[in-house]
Amino acid sequence: MATQAVVGNGKTGITIIDSLRQIDPDKNIALIAVGKLSTRVDIVRFYDSYIQYLQKYGDVSEKQNPYDSATKNLLFATGYCDEKTRSKWHSVLKEIENSEYTKILRK
């Protein structure tokens, strides 16, 4: 299950969302993720978990269209980062959006 993606600390049961939430429980999770995650693997894991997070906890529009909402939220969050971080996230998000896996899930 994607929400069970474990962060590099290796603690079982601690999801990537939970781990990031511990950094600042009051801050938007997309902003935290963009500021802390830098590898392709971590970004993809976060994206998968974030989709499920939005389906469960998002507002009505996020629950109805979690993929577009996740991408939109994350692209917005990259506006607060340096160019290197923004470029990395944009590249990985574009890859995710264009993947056959994502196209199948959206149907």
How many CB atoms within 10 Å of residue 11?
11
Q: Tens digits of per-residue pLDDT, 10-42?
A: 444 469 999 999 999 999 999 999 999 999 999
Which pLDDT score is estimated for 8?
A: 43
Domain count, the chain: 1
Q: Tens digits of per-residue pLDDT, 64-105?
A: 999 999 999 999 999 999 999 999 999 999 999 887 766 665
Which residues span the domain enclosing 95?
Answer: 2-106
